[in-house]
Structure formats: C-alpha cells, structure tokens
C-alpha cells in the first residue's frame, strides 16, 4: 500500500494522540471518518455503488450473468470478485503495481463471503445443476486514503443491495438443453437478501491501543493489525492479520470482540442509509460531478 | 424536464447470455403537432391536419382528428387504404409496434402513408418531451404503449385547445381514438378521450357505405406474438440412449424427401424398410443427413408415402407459423403398401454443414431478418439476420445453421460469405463444388515441390529395372479431347492359336510416392472431378496431362498386365510388370471404330484393334452369360461455344463398339489384378464390391414393369438381365431403356473396401457378376487405383511396402474417404450438367419428346431423354380450381382426364423452358404439349428462340 514518509516526531505525535484517545483529526479511537455513498451510478450494471470514506474512493459494479454451476455445488450460484487498482489512486499502481493489493482484497472478500450465513447462494440457482446466476463484482479503487478494506466492503455490500437480478423461467426443455425465457418486463427483477453480508472492520494497533478506520499516516505508525469480517448477525466470518508485527493472544481476543461490535453498528447504519436512499426513489444522480 | 432519458431493457443473446442494454433516449421540444389550426407550434403553413376537418361520421359529429391504435393497423389495414380517411395521426409508438409485429402490415401502412401524404400525419410522440412515457414497474410493454398512445391523445387535446379558445364549442376540433382493444378504450374514456371501435366508426361514415365490407372479422385483441412452441421437444440424450438400448427407439439417418418437404424417411441399419415420417411434428426439426432417434407409431397409424409432390412455398415468408398440413398429407393412400411410420423424438448428431443458396426477396428490404433458400432442395429454408440484404439479394451466398429452437418455423443461421452474382457461371460452378465438398483449391507449394523438375527424361537406371516394351505397337483409345490418358492396349499374335494382349496403365505410383505432400493431397481429393466445362484434377496437371498421360510417340512409364489368350478368349497366362512403353497413336473411339471398319486400313495398329475387338466381343458374351447387367442412365454432352463458353447444343454420348472394347479389357485387367493382390494381401487389399440390392429396393421397378404387362424376375442378376432383355415393346422402343434406367435406381452403391473388413462371400460385384473386383486402370484420376498399383508393385517385388499400406484399418479409412469423394464427385458432375442445361435453356423454349417416369397423385414425373432431364408436370395449379380434373388411379397408377389416360412410360410431348419468374431462383419448367388437355397443355412451339439477346459484348468472356 501507499507508503507515506513520516518523521519520528510525527510518529510520536500520532502515538501520543492515540494514547490519549484523541486522534489528529479529532476522532476517538473507535470513530469513523465521514462516508459518502451513492448507488445506481452505473446504468449498464445490474447494481452499483460508489463509496467515499474521507479520501478513499471506491466504485463497485455488479454484473449478473448466466453460467453453469460448479459441479460440486449444483444448487448454488456464485460471486466472483475482481479488484482493479486504478493508477489514479497512486502512481505505484501503474502497470501491474496494484496487482498484489488487488489479489489480497479479492481473496479476503471471497473468504469472508464463503460462510453460508452471509448470503444465500441458492437464491442464485436457476436450474439445478445446469444454470445459475454468477454475480461478477468489479471493484475499482479510485483513490487511496487509508482503510481500503472497510471502504471496499461497504461499497460491495451497497452494490449487492441494489443488484437487480432479472427474473427468468425455464420455458421448455429441448433435449438436455433448457430453453430459458427472460421476463419481458425490465422491472420484473428480484433482489438478494443482503442483510447479513459482512462488513470488514480494520483494527490497527498503535502502542498498546487499537483504533478503527486508520488514516494513511496512522497505518504508517502501526506494525500490526487485524481485518475482521463481521456479518449482520454479529458473526465473524473471516479474520486476517496485517502488518509485520505480532499480536498478543489476549489483545487479539479483545480486538476481535471490539471489531464484532463495531462491525454490527456499521452494518446497521449502512442498511438504514441504503433503505433511506431507496425510499427517496429516483433522484438526480450526483456521480463524480461535484 | 430532463431532455435525456435512458431506455433500459434486458435482452437474451443468441448464446443465452442475458444483457442489460441501456439506450440513451433524447427528448425534443421542437416536434410540431402538424395541425393547421395550431398557433403554438412554429411550423410552416399547409400542414397535413386541416384547420377545420370535415368528416361524414355520424358517430362523432364535431370536427375531429383520428388517432389509430396499433391493433387497428394490424387487423384492419385494408380499411385504412380507403380515401375515406382524412386527418389521421399515426403515432410513432404505433409504427414501431406494427413494425415489430407484422412486417407486411408495416410495409402496407408505409405505402398508404406515402401515397396519401395529405391525410396521414406521423407524430413522433416517443421523442416529444411532453408525450414520452417511461415504463412503470409491473407494466407490460403493451400497456405502456397503450398509455403512450393515450398520453399523446390527451396532449393533442390540451395542445389544440389553447389555439382554439375563441371557437364555439361545436366547431372545436377534437381528438378521437380508434382502437379494437376494450381495455384501452375504457381507459381512454375514463381519461376523457373520445374513443370508438374501428368498426362502429367505419359504419358511421355515411359517405362511404362500401367501406364496411372491407372490415376484417373483428378479432378480440389477441396478443399476436405467438411464442408457443411449434415443435414437440427433443428427449434428453440419456432418455434416448436408454430408449435405443431397450429397443423402444430406433437410430438412423434422416433423409428428407426430394418431392415433399413434409415427408422424410429414416434408414435404420439392419432394417429392410426405412421408417416413414410425415408432417412437421414427426420430422421435428431434423435436417437431411442428421442421425436421429425415432419412435415407431402403433401399427394402426402406419401410412404409405403420399403420392403428392409438395414444395415449401416459394416466394413468401410466412413468419413463425406452421401452415395447416392436414390437407397436404391426408391424401396419402391409406390401406395399402403400409410402411412403418414413426416420429422423431431426438437428434443424436446434427450433420449441419454450410449451405449455398440465395436470399428470399423480403417484403421489408431494410429489415434484418431474412429467409435463405438453400440450393439443395432437401434442406429447409434458413432464417438469418443480415443488414446487407439489399446487396446480397443478387448473390449466391453461404449460410450456416446455428440452431433450431422449438418456437421457430425455420432453423436459425447466419451469413458466412458471398460467392458472387447469381447466374454467373463461375459462381454457380463454385456453388456446386462447395455444395458437394469437392476440394478445388489450387495445389499448394508443398505439393508442387514433389513434382519432378522439367525437362523430364526417363533415366537409364529406370529403364534397366523395367521391362522394355517400346517395340510393341501400343495405342490408346479415349473420348475426344482427353488429355489424361491412363490406359493403352496392344495385341499381337504369338502363334495362330495364341495371342498376346496387354493393358498398359500409366505408372502414377512412380511419381506419387507414399507419405509425401502430393500423396496426402491426392488421397484427400480421392478422385478427379469432371465438370462440363472444367476438370478438377486429383494430381497436378504436369502429371495428369503430361508425365503420366500415355501420350502418343512419347516414352512413358507404365504398369502392364499381359495375358496370353486363345482365340476363344480363354486366358492361359497372366503376368504383371512395370514397363516402359511408347504409344503409337491416341485414337478417339470414333477413329478407332473407323480403323476397324475400314478394310483398306491394314497397318499393324488397325489389325491389332480388330483382334482386340474380336476378343472383346467374346469376352462380353461370356460375361453376360454369367449375369452381368447392362444398365442405362442417360448421358449427354454439351457442345460449348468457344467464345462465350455457354452451351450451344446438346448431344447424347454415342455408344460404339470400341467403347465396350476398351471397357472389356479394363474389366479384365481389374479382375486379374484384384485376384492377384487379394492372393498376396488377404487382409489389406483394396477391392471394390457392389452389394446385392435387397428385394425391397426393386418395388418401384417391379410396379412399373407390371403396368407394361411384364413380369420381371429380380431374384438374381442373371434373371434380372434376362427379364430386362425380354421386356421389349416394338411400339415403344425407349421403354426398355426406361426400364433399365429404373433398374439402375434400384441398385446399391458400389464401394471400395479393405479385404480384411468384409467376409469373402460379400466381395461379389453384382453389376458385373464378378466374384472379385477392384480398380486398377485409372490411377491418374482415382486414388484407389493408385493404392492398387502400390499393392501390386509390392506383390511382384517391384517396389517396397510401407506401414499404412498393410494396415487394414488405415486402408479402410482411406476407402471410406474415397467412397465419399466418389459419391460427391458424381453428384457434382450431375449438378454441372444440370447447370449447363439451365444455361442452355436460358434463351430457348423447345418442344421435346418425353417419357413418363412415374405417375403421382398430383404430378407426372417425366424424363426428357435428349437432355437427360427430369421434371414434374403439376396436374393441378396450386390455387385455382382446376378445369382439367384428373382422376388418379393409384393401383395402376394412372391419371385420367376425359378420355385421355396417362400411364407410366407413355410417350408425351413437353415444352421445356426456363422459368424466370423469379430472377433469383430460376428453374427449368416443363409443360405438357401432347396429349392436349384443355386448361393444362400449352401450345406447341417448334424450336423457337425467344428473345435471344444480341450478344452485347462477347469480349467479356462469359
């Protein structure tokens, strides 16, 4: 990730701030920065969202496609994640520079969605063993302002929330080939239940304390931390340690506990905001023009 | 209001993917209403809609403009043609819906609007900022369009209201909506738009009382989009497989009938009678050649092939509907000659290829969905999507089938490429080569690299290891113009009671070595294909017409078979040798015949020809006694104009003694070689067999014989030959030939095979009555002969062997390809003749003698011997009630009208011409001249050249 050059004095300043539960931007340790969210931006996609957390900016599009299910899971559809780190975010992403980070995020997302509690993949099945929906989740990282994991997960959840899956029915069988009939009404779509889709919470350890939503400067000061995937039901579906430093088991346990609490709150707030936006109905899209 | 909106809809692609399509949709505020009375719109004067419209309608007394709903255009288009309609507003919504639902009606509506510009005004409501409506959730496309129409109506109302505020109420122009849809009318009335049914409105037009007769019977608004499956579904492969295993289903190759597109048959291996299929549902989307699974119907539903000749409608696009077929099929003669009847339940393997053909002229040229008519009659029309219909309509094109869904009347395909203009000889040649899968590209570099370099001489070492026969008087006898001479003969007296005869075959195997690029190319091509005006060589021309060809007075390598025979044609000794020869002369058949017949010619060559001829006659007699068949198929030759390359005359190929003389010695050589290679290679000898046809094949032949009062014995080839010889009628000389033609059609196809794959009893060659046979004598034009040459060379230790030659599986594979290529080349040759017959009749109409080949329920199949041409005379015109009522007697079979009866083999006179009604799709038309039957026969014309165009530019070649 983008490395920032900090002097020892600056680092010490951040350290002391965290110790006193007052960070450089005035937050306490468990405060998030302001979030701006807009959905339905990409009209070509089945679902989309753009989420901006302070200076981190992510655009997510979900495309649904018909495919045959995996042979080991004939009853389920699937999700495929793809992360693209735009070179707009930082010059380091140029060429294949962002690939490692992209793969890391991709893999962790896949892992956190693996648990059966998060999303009911059976809803994506069209015809057992033959046809299912595959949701291609394309994540475009436009700007890195720290705490990418959280930003991405919130954006993905919002995009999935708005995803419209065309309703399709098996009209006739011909030979072994099903003849699928697409509903003629473009509004005749179904939505996934995204209530339990996990949010990722990054906890960074600085000194003896840990904090959420680190800025790039704070990330710089920390040697270790955890990313925790917390589903809507307070469950932890995946955990990943980041950074080169080590964590004491005791502090790890307490970090997980905090993460699950924070995650649940974030989840709840996101869902209410999404609902609010949906209720407001069609409004002028803002997009990137502000 | 935002002037940019987007239309979002979902679409399923051909591959089954679901696409979300987003189209930007721009709205405008400068679309005028088109009314003269309007003061708001910034339009010019003299608008379509009158300031004070007058209508004779009693239903709606006040002045009004009429808005028509889509269903009015769809169902009452004929009414709209009347001049009664004035001040009509056609909404864009209506136009687009019509276009989608019925291209025919769309075209008609366009025509009406074009001719009556002063009465119909198109209002582009979909792009007007005030009348555009977006589809609501849960609303069907239909409802949305109805709403759009109502919205446009109410917009007009308020829009016009503002301009005519000063008028008194009775003079105010109103908008009325005409619709057939009950719901739409209800809704419109609720919204305050006067709405009427079109029929009540038309009836109220008191100035046009006749118009109501044009009203179509009122349709309750049916959502015309018929997406109901037209065909039964195919079973799942596993179900088919279990069905076949259990014997419930049969597997076989589907053949479509040439005469009736709704009929086909499936030949099941190991079953004598093929299974009959009738009707769209039974055929169930099978295309000729597919391997299909068939379910037999219960025996009480079995029928026999219908006697009628049926073609898929020529010139129109019926859309995705299946025509009523009962009428087409019920006529089939029930009760007798029942054939196992079944229905196709699944396709095991599609044998789709690419098809040549033309586009059907479409009613809507700028549309993208068109019908393609394949050149091959057995293939159904194919629905393709193309945007270049206008350019393609005059061209021959290639199309491939992609799928045949249950909901589609025709298979769906796509355009592959264009070949060239229709009627162009080069294009047509290309078509028939492609259509018959004849490899005709020029030889690649790698192949040409295998050729010997010129100038080429026979080296001394080569001469040393061969027998030197340059001293013998060898000559060749071939058709005129032959450049690939692959056989030559010699004859000499060793003693008064012992003759030596030799057959010398071009030694192609010397040049075409195994496992070279040249060999592979030749093996793939399999055979040389002779078209009327072109020859597609199996080996490059340098070999075929020069180095291998046994040209006169040139030293050539040969493979010789030399016999010692007694004057009674008894063979005493046979030997095979590689040799060097020098042919003294290349005779044509006619020249050789002259030399034999002319007693003045006493040179060595003439003498040996006479000797050969004498022996050949004896040999032929012996062969006939053994039961060899003399069959007949009409063969013709075209005289081709040297300048234009167009055929100018047709002559039948004459049969001379010398033809059969050469044939006789070739047969002898082939049989001798077959015996020899089989002795040496019992497992992998390349042989040719002609299977005994199953008894059932002879049915049409026996039936035809019966009508003429002959009992034909088909129990063996010998008895068949005898009964054919006996079946002669003095008053109808051609009858015997016709019988022989029919007999030929009952035969099986002769095939090459590897001796290890077939039991020895099955080696029999039925037509030649030979227990063993192969092809040895034409290696320049047949690859099988080349293989035989190699085998024989190994057998006499003149050459070395190689692995593939001795592997019976490899040999069998080669044979399969050769059989296929051979069959295809024959078809191609036939098509080439047919093509030239077409060209020949382009500017001609001729009366010719013809013979009835078979009598059908609604047609006569006739053969015109002069052109070897077959055609159908339809006895009833498709639509009109025929004045000439023919009565069909299926027992005889015969057709009787008044006192004239036409039976099989009857001689009639027909008029042959080229039917150019459809410039795209010309075909030979045959009309009856004699006997004269009112309403059917045409006036005789004696060889008149109609409209022979003055040759404009002969320079252009062809």
DSSP B896-923: EETTEEEETT-EEEEEEEEE-SSTTS-E
Cα–Cα distance measured from residue B787 to residue B777, given in angstroms and rounded to the nearest whole number: 11
pLDDT at B951: 38
Q: What is the mean pLDDT of residues B269-275?
A: 76
B10 to chain A, any CB pair closer than 8 A? The answer is yes
pLDDT at B632: 63
pLDDT tens digits, B115-172: 888 889 999 999 998 899 888 888 888 889 999 999 999 999 999 888 888 888 788 8
Q: Which residues contact residue A58 at a Cβ distance below 8 angstroms, ignoring those fewer than 6 apart?
A: A50, A51, A52, A139, A140, A141, A142, A148, A151, A152, A155
Cα–Cα distance measured from residue B878 to residue B263, given in angstroms and rounded to the nearest whole number: 19
Query: How far is the alpha carbon of B322 from chain A, nearest alpha carbon, in Å?
Result: 19
pLDDT at B713: 81
Spell out which residues of chain A touch residue B235, defining contact as CB-CB under 8 Å.
Answer: 175
pLDDT tens digits, B329-338: 554 444 556 7
Q: Do B139 and A175 touch (CB under 8 A)?
A: no
Chain A positions touching chain B (beta carbons under 8 Å) = 43-46, 64-66, 166, 168, 172-176, 179-180, 182-188
pLDDT at A60: 95
Cα–Cα distance measured from residue B795 to residue B577, given in angstroms and rounded to the nearest whole number: 11
Q: What is the mean pLDDT of residues B673-686?
A: 88
Query: How far is the alpha carbon of A180 from chain B, nearest alpha carbon, in Å?
Result: 8
Q: Which of B10, B135, B237 sits opposite A175 (nearest CB)?
A: B237
H helix and E strand count, chain A: 5, 14
Q: Which residues contact residue B709 at a Cβ distance below 8 angstroms, ignoring those fewer than 6 apart?
A: none
Q: What is the mean pLDDT of residues B271-295?
A: 84
B15 to chain A, any CB pair closer than 8 A? The answer is no
Q: B843-930 has which fold?
A: OB fold (Dihydrolipoamide Acetyltransferase, E2P) (2.40.50)
Q: What is the mean pLDDT of residues B553-574?
A: 89
| Residues of chain A by 3-state class (helix, strand, coil), percent to 5 | 30, 30, 40
pLDDT at B434: 83
pLDDT at A255: 93
ipTM greater than cut 0.85: no
pLDDT at A63: 93
pLDDT at B146: 92
Cα–Cα distance measured from residue B884 to residue B876, given in angstroms and rounded to the nearest whole number: 8
Q: Which of B8, B16, B141 sits opposite A66 (nearest CB)?
A: B16
Q: What is the mean pLDDT of residues B638-651?
A: 67
CB < 8 Å from A in window 88-127 of B: none
pLDDT exceeds cutoff 50 at A197:
yes
B355 to chain A, any CB pair closer than 8 A? The answer is no
Cα–Cα distance measured from residue B425 to residue B838, given in angstroms and rounded to the nearest whole number: 11
B192 to chain A, any CB pair closer than 8 A? The answer is no
Q: Which of A44, A66, A176 sits opposite B17 (nearest CB)?
A: A66
pLDDT at B640: 67
Percent of chain A with pLDDT over 70: 96
Instruction: Take residue A70 and report the two structure tokens written for it.
Output: 């995996």
Cα–Cα distance measured from residue B137 to residue A278, given in angstroms and rounded to the nearest whole number: 15
Mutate one of B1, B2, B12, B20 to test the A interface: name it (highest A CB count within 10 A): B20
**Options 2.40.50.690, 3.30.1360.30, 2.40.40.20, 3.90.1150.10; which CATH number does B237-312+336-349 get?**
2.40.50.690
pLDDT exceeds cutoff 80 at B639:
no
pLDDT exceeds cutoff 70 at B491:
yes
Spell out which residues of chain B touch residue A186, defining contact as CB-CB under 8 Å.
Answer: 8-10, 135
Cα–Cα distance measured from residue A129 to residue A67, given in angstroms and rounded to the nearest whole number: 10
pLDDT at B931: 76
Q: What is the mean pLDDT of residues B696-718?
A: 79
pLDDT at B211: 74
B600 to chain A, any CB pair closer than 8 A? The answer is no
Instruction: Please give the domain boundaries of chain A with CATH numbers for all domains.
Output: 8-280 (3.30.230.70)
Mean pLDDT (chain B) is 81
Query: How far is the alpha carbon of A177 from chain B, nearest alpha carbon, in Å?
Result: 8
Q: What pLDDT band is residue B954 in, cutting at 50, 70 and 90?
A: very low
Q: What is the mean pLDDT of residues A148-168?
A: 92
DSSP B706: H
Place of tokens 């033809």: B659
pLDDT at B2: 64
pLDDT tens digits, B71-80: 888 888 878 8
Q: Angle, nearest 10°, between helix axes B103-115 and B92-101?
A: 140
Cβ of B52: how many Cβ atoms within 10 Å? 11
Percent of chain A with pLDDT over 90: 48
Q: Do A187 and B137 touch (CB under 8 A)?
A: yes
pLDDT exceeds cutoff 60 at A199:
yes
- The architecture that CATH gives domain B354-422 is Beta Barrel (2.40)
As assigned by CATH, the class of the B47-214 domain is: alpha beta
pLDDT at B153: 93
Inter-chain Cβ pairs, chain A and chain B, closer than 8 A: 63
Kindly write down the DSSP assignment for every residue of B805-862, as one continuous string.
HH-HHHHHHHHHHHHHHHHHHHHHHHHHHHHHHHHHTTTEEEEEEEEEEEE-SSEEEE
Q: Which of B18, B141, B237 sits opposite A176 (nearest CB)?
A: B237
pLDDT at A239: 93
- CA-CA distances (angstroms) from residue A26 to A20, A265, B107, B730, B755? 11, 21, 73, 122, 97
Q: What pLDDT band is residue B633 in, cutting at 50, 70 and 90?
A: low
pLDDT tens digits, B3-28: 777 788 877 776 777 888 888 889 98
Nearest-5° angle of CA B523, CA B525, CA B527? 95
Q: What pLDDT band is residue B946 in, cutting at 50, 70 and 90?
A: very low
Ranked by mean pLDDT, which of A58-62, A146-150, B168-172, B305-309 comes out on top?
A: A58-62
Give the residue among A205, A100, A93, A198 at the shortest CA–CA distance from A144. A93
pLDDT exceeds cutoff 70 at B299:
yes
- CA-CA distances (angstroms) from residue B495 to A9, B492, B499, B500, B565? 128, 9, 7, 9, 11
- Which segment of A15-24, A224-233, B180-189, B621-630 scores lowest on mean pLDDT? B621-630
Whether this model's pTM surpasses 0.80: no
Coil/strand/helix, residue B514: coil
pLDDT at B952: 37
Spell out which residues of chain B touch residue A66, defining contact as CB-CB under 8 Å.
Answer: 16-18
Spell out which residues of chain B touch residue A185, defining contact as CB-CB under 8 Å.
Answer: 135, 137-141
Kindly write down the DSSP assignment for every residue of B320-366, as one continuous string.
S-PPP-HHHHTTS--SSS-B-BEEEEEEEE----EEEEEEPPPSSTT
Percent of chain B with pLDDT over 90: 8
Mutate one of B3, B16, B228 to test the A interface: name it (highest A CB count within 10 A): B16
pLDDT tens digits, B382-408: 888 777 777 887 888 888 888 888 888
pLDDT at B314: 52
pLDDT exceeds cutoff 60 at B948:
no
Q: Which of B6, B16, B347 sits opposite A43 (nearest CB)?
A: B6
Q: What are phi and psi of B910, to 5 degrees?
A: -130, 160
Q: Which of B17, B139, B233 sits opposite A174 (nearest CB)?
A: B233
Q: Do A166 and B11 touch (CB under 8 A)?
A: no
Give the residue among B629, B634, B509 at the shortest CA–CA distance from B559. B509
Give the residue among B806, B801, B812, B810 at the shortest CA–CA distance from B509. B801
Percent of chain B with pLDDT over 70: 87
pLDDT at B942: 56
Ranked by mean pLDDT, which of B342-351, B629-638, B835-844, B882-891 comes out on top?
A: B342-351
Q: Do B236 and A179 touch (CB under 8 A)?
A: no
Mutate one of A174, A186, A190 to test the B interface: name it (highest B CB count within 10 A): A174
CB < 8 Å from A in window 16-35 of B: 16-18, 20, 22
Q: Do B138 and A45 touch (CB under 8 A)?
A: no
pLDDT exceeds cutoff 50 at A135:
yes
- Which segment of B38-42, B635-639, B727-731 scores lowest on mean pLDDT? B635-639
B234 to chain A, any CB pair closer than 8 A? The answer is yes
pLDDT at B916: 66
Paired residues of A249 in beta bridges: none
pLDDT tens digits, A236-248: 999 999 988 889 9
Q: What pLDDT band is residue B255 in, cutting at 50, 70 and 90?
A: confident
């Amino acid at each position: 990730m983008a490395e920032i050059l900090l002097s020892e004095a600056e680092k010490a300043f951040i350290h002391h701030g965290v110790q006193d539960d007052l960070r450089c931007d005035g937050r306490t340790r468990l405060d998030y920065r302001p979030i701006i969210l807009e959905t339905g931006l990409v009209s070509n996609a089945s679902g989309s969202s753009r989420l901006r957390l302070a200076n981190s900016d992510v655009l997510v599009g979900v495309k649904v496609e018909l495919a045959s299910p995996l042979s080991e899971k004939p009853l389920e559809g699937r999700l495929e994640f793809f992360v693209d780190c735009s070179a707009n975010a930082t010059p380091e992403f140029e060429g294949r520079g962002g690939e490692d980070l992209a793969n890391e995020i991709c893999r962790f997302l896949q892992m956190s969605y693996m648990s059966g509690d998060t999303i009911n993949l059976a809803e994506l099945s069209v015809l057992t063993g033959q046809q299912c929906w595959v949701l291609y989740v394309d994540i475009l990282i436009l700007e890195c302002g720290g705490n990418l994991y959280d930003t991405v997960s919130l954006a993905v959840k919002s995009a999935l929330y708005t995803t419209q899956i065309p309703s399709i029915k098996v009209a006739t069988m011909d030979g072994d080939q099903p003849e699928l009939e697409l509903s003629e009404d473009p509004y005749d779509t179904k939505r996934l239940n995204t209530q339990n889709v996990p949010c990722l919470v990054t906890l960074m350890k600085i000194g003896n304390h840990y904090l959420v939503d680190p800025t790039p400067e704070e990330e710089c000061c920390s040697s270790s931390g955890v990313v925790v995937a917390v589903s809507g039901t307070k469950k932890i579906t995946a955990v990943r340690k980041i950074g080169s430093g080590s964590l004491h088991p005791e502090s790890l346990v307490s970090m997980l506990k905090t993460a699950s609490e924070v995650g649940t709150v974030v989840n709840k707030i996101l869902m209410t905001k999404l609902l609010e936006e949906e209720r407001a109905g069609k409004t002028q899209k803002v997009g990137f023009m502000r | 209001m935002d002037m940019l909106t987007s239309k979002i809809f979902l679409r399923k692609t051909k591959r089954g993917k679901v696409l979300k399509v987003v189209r930007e949709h721009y709205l405008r505020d400068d679309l005028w209403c088109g009314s003269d009375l309007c003061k708001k719109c910034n339009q010019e004067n003299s608008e379509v809609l009158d300031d004070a419209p007058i209508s004779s309608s009693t239903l709606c007394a006040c002045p009004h403009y009429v808005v028509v709903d889509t269903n009015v255009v769809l169902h009452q288009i004929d009414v709209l043609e009347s001049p009664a309609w004035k001040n009509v507003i056609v909404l864009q919504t209506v136009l687009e819906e019509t276009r989608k639902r019925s291209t025919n009606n769309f075209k008609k509506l366009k025509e009406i609007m074009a001719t009556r510009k002063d009465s119909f005004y198109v209002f582009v409501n979909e792009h007007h900022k005030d009348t555009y409506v977006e589809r609501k959730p849960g609303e069907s496309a239909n409802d949305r369009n109805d709403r759009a129409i109502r919205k446009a109506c109410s917009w007009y109302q308020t829009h016009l209201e503002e301009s005519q505020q000063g008028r008194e109420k009775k003079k105010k122009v109103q908008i009325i909506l005409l619709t057939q849809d009950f719901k739409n009318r209800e809704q419109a009335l609720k919204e305050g738009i006067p709405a009427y049914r079109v029929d009540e409105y038309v009836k109220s037009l008191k100035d046009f009382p006749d118009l109501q007769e044009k009203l179509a019977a009122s349709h309750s608004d049916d959502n015309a989009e018929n997406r109901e499956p037209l065909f039964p579904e195919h079973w799942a492969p596993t179900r088919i497989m279990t069905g076949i295993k259990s014997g419930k289903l049969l597997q076989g190759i589907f053949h479509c009938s040439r005469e009736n597109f709704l009929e086909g048959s499936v030949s099941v291996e190991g079953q004598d009678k093929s299974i009959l299929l009738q009707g769209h549902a039974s055929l169930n989307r099978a295309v000729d050649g597919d391997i299909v699974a068939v379910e037999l119907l219960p025996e009480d539903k079995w029928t026999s092939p219908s006697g009628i000749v049926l073609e898929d409608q020529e010139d129109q696009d019926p859309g995705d509907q299946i025509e009523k077929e009962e009428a087409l099929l019920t006529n089939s003669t029930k009760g007798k000659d029942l054939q196992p009847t079944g229905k196709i339940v699944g396709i095991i393997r599609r044998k789709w290829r690419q098809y040549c053909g033309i586009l059907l002229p479409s009613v809507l040229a700028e549309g993208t969905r068109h019908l393609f008519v394949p050149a091959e009659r057995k293939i159904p029309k194919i629905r393709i999507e193309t945007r270049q219909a206008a350019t393609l309509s005059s061209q021959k094109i290639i199309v491939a089938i992609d799928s045949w869904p249950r909901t589609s009347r025709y298979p769906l395909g796509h355009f592959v490429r264009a070949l060239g203009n229709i009627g162009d000889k080069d294009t047509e040649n290309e078509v028939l080569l492609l259509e018959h899968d004849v490899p005709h590209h020029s030889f690649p570099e790698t192949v040409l690299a295998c050729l010997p370099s010129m100038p080429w001489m026979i080296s001394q070492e080569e001469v040393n290891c061969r027998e030197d026969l340059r001293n013998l008087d060898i000559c060749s006898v071939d058709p005129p113009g032959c450049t690939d001479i692959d056989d030559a003969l010699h004859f000499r007296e060793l003693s008064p009671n012992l003759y030596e005869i030799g057959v010398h075959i071009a030694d192609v195997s010397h040049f075409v070595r195994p496992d070279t690029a040249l060999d592979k190319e030749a093996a793939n091509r399999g055979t040389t294909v002779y078209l009327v005006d072109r020859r597609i060589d199996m080996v490059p021309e340098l070999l075929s017409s020069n180095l291998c060809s046994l040209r006169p007075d040139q030293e050539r390598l040969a493979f010789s078979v030399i016999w010692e025979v007694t004057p009674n044609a008894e063979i005493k000794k046979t030997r095979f040798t590689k040799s060097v020869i020098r042919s003294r002369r290349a005779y044509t058949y006619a020249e050789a015949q002259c030399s034999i017949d002319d007693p003045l010619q006493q040179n060595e060559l003439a003498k040996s020809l006479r000797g050969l001829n004498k022996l050949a006659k004896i040999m032929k007699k012996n062969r006939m006694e053994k039961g060899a068949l003399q069959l007949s198929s009409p063969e013709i030759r075209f005289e081709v104009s040297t300048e234009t390359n167009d055929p100018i005359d047709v002559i039948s190929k004459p049969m001379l003694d010398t033809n059969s003389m050469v044939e006789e010695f070739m047969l002898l050589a082939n049989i001798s070689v077959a015996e020899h290679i089989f002795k040496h290679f019992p497992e992998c000898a390349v042989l040719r067999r002609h299977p005994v046809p199953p008894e059932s094949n002879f049915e049409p032949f026996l039936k035809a014989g019966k009508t003429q009062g002959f009992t034909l014995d088909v129990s063996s080839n010998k008895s068949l030959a005898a009964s054919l010889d006996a079946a002669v009628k003095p008053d109808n000389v051609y009858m015997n030939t016709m019988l022989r033609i029919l007999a030929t059609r009952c035969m099986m196809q002769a095939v090459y095979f590897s001796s290890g794959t077939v039991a020895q009893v099955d080696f029999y060659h039925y037509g030649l009555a030979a227990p063993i046979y192969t092809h040895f004598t034409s290696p320049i034009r047949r690859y099988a002969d080349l293989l035989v040459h190699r085998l024989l060379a190994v057998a006499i230790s003149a050459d070395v062997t190689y692995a593939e030659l001795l592997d019976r599986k490899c040999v069998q594979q080669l044979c399969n390809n050769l059989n296929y290529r051979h069959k295809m080349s024959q078809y191609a040759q036939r098509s080439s003749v047919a093509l030239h017959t077409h060209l020949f009749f382009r500017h001609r109409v001729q009366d010719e003698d013809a013979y009835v080949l078979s009598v059908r329920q609604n047609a006569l199949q006739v053969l015109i011997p002069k052109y070897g041409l077959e055609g159908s005379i339809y006895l009833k015109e498709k639509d009109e009630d025929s004045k000439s009522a023919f009565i069909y007697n299926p027992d005889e079979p015969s057709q009787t009208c008044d006192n004239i009866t036409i039976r099989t083999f009857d001689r009639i006179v027909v008029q042959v011409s080229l039917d150019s009604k459809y410039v795209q799709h010309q075909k030979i038309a045959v009309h009856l001249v004699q006997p004269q039957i009112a309403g059917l026969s045409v006036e005789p014309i004696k060889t008149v050249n109609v409209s022979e165009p003055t040759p404009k530019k002969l320079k252009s070649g062809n």
